[in-house]
Amino acid sequence: MIPDRDFLRCCARKNNLSLPRELEDWLLAHFEDEPYEDFNTASILEDMVCMYCQTYADGRLDVTIPDAVTRLKERCEDLKDLISDLRVDVSYLQGLCDDYERILKEHGLL
């Protein structure tokens, strides 16, 4: 799930938080640039939106949106990292599966 403006505004209003336009724009770009993140529930997203609103209100969040080329390069690098991580996970799981299969065969259960 990638939030839209209505979702962001609803979260801010529901939690009595300020959501200036520049923060709203930054949040949309931020969530758009991380489509592979596991934002599987609205409550997780709401918590994140609230955290960003509070951080922004405290003056601790730079909401400068990088240019499109920089964003695409960063997204590409992030996805390459994710692919590498997944390959490691798959390799590890394949090793476990092979071990279990070997044990089952040794005991005549497969």
pLDDT at 14 over 60: yes
* pLDDT the model gives residue 3: 85
What is the residue range of 95's domain? 69-110
CA distance 97 to 107: 16
SS3 107: coil
Q: For the packed helices 21-32 and 5-14, what is the interaxial angle rounded to 10 degrees?
A: 120
pLDDT at 55 over 90: yes
Are residue 22 and residue 35 in the same domain, yes or no? yes
Are residue 34 and residue 57 in the same domain, yes or no? yes
Mean pLDDT of the 38-45 span:
74
Mean pLDDT of the chain: 90
* pLDDT the model gives residue 45: 85
Task: Please return the burial class of 104, using the count of CB atoms within 10 Å of its CB with bins 0-12, 13-18 and 19+.
Answer: exposed
Tell me which of 46, 65, 84 is where a domain ends. Answer: 65
Are residue 9 and residue 60 in the same domain, yes or no? yes
For the entire predicted model, the pTM comes to 0.65
Report the percentage of the chain scoring pLDDT > 70: 94
Into how many domains does the chain fold? 2
Buried b (16+ CB within 10 A) or exposed e, 35-70: eeeeeeeeeebbebbbebbeebeeeeeeeeeeeeee
